[in-house]
Amino acid sequence: MIWLSEIILQQTRVDQGLPYYHRFVEKYPDVTSLANASLQDVLRLWQGLGYYSRARNMHRCAEIISEKHNGKLPETSAELIKLPGIGPYTAAAIASIAFDEQIPSVDGNVLRVISRLYGIEDDISLPETQKEIKKIALNLIPADNPGDFNQALMEFGALNCLPSRPACNDCPVNKNCDAFLQNTQHRIPVKRPSKKKRDRFFNYLVVTIRNKYILQKRKKKDIWHSLYEFPLIETKKPCPPDELHLPSCMTKKSFILKEISPEYKHVLSHQIIHAAFFTFEYLPDKKNESFPESGSLYSPEEIEALPRSILIDRYLREKII
Ligand code: SF4
């Protein structure tokens, strides 16, 4: 279960991740039950947490552990890191906490604490700076209870050595802290500004046929892979309805544009999605009743069971389910 909590907490706050942790433990109490679940069910349970590659990797990881490791997690960081979704930080956290391996797990909190303690003013987003900090952490970590050391250091960063207001006056190590002694704690750690987020414009086609909606599974290597959504046309800028290149089947008289939603904005770590939902009414054409889209038809009840992004879920809850 340490593995599950580490995966959930990779990009999520504890208060946000905790209910998901409980739901997963209840539904999939061991690795084998998770491996035997369908990816669709796992994604549905993960819905709302974001960074869906974590759920896909966790499911794949459970399958590998089940098939190749008799349902048991490998016990060393070197073996753990070979599994999908387990990077150096997670491998070290699991190996030190669950199996007492003497290896530091260096997250953003640890990078901040060590860079301040040692007065490191190099950019902490650079691999060479992180390597230097890991080396320092490796020298500090004890052989006894290395997991406790890792957790204490992360916790210290999260509660005391805060990014903007470190509690230096009450800090038990302030006499040994280079940043405190030099009064540089407010400019350390140094981090280059993150890149500007990319704007993307999603135009969703909401088509109802006999009280069912057309939805399709995202297949491209992109955000929200394997989640369900309405047929999508992506454009480089906001798209007026007359400039939308609809699929050829929809230019017929059978599909009448009824409504265009206001913009739904959804902010992700590296991109901002500007979505508009174009609602079409379908007027049955006796000669040609089929809708040759790549999606399938789903009733509102069936849609409930499908994994989907927060953006699509927001629209569905406001308008459909
Ligand atoms: Fe962090 Fe301040 Fe303590 Fe240094 S003295 S480790 S900057 S809380």
3-state helix, strand, coil in the chain (%, to 5): 45, 15, 40
Q: Chunk the chain into consecutive blocks of 10 residues (it has 321) and report each block's average pLDDT, rounded to whole numbers.
A: 88 89 95 95 93 94 95 95 94 96 96 98 96 97 97 95 95 97 96 90 92 90 94 93 81 80 94 96 66 75 94 93 78
Cα–Cα distances in Å, from 51 out to 12, 54, 74, 85? 9, 6, 25, 11
121 C-alpha vs ligand 1 centroid, how far in Å?
15
Which residue type, as a one-letter code, is found at position 251?
A: T
pLDDT at residue 285, rounded to an integer: 64
pLDDT at residue 111, rounded to an integer: 97
Mutate which of 140, 171, 178, 184 for ligand 1 pocket (most atoms within 8 A of beta carbon): 171
Label the pairing between strands 228-229 and 255-260: unpaired
pLDDT at residue 245, rounded to an integer: 84
pLDDT at residue 292, rounded to an integer: 47
Q: Is the pTM of this model over 0.85?
A: no
For ligand 1, whether the C-beta of 59 sits within 6 Å is no
Number of other CB atoms surrounding residue 133 within 10 Å? 23
For ligand 1, whether the C-beta of 115 sits within 6 Å is no
Label the pairing between strands 271-282 and 198-209: parallel
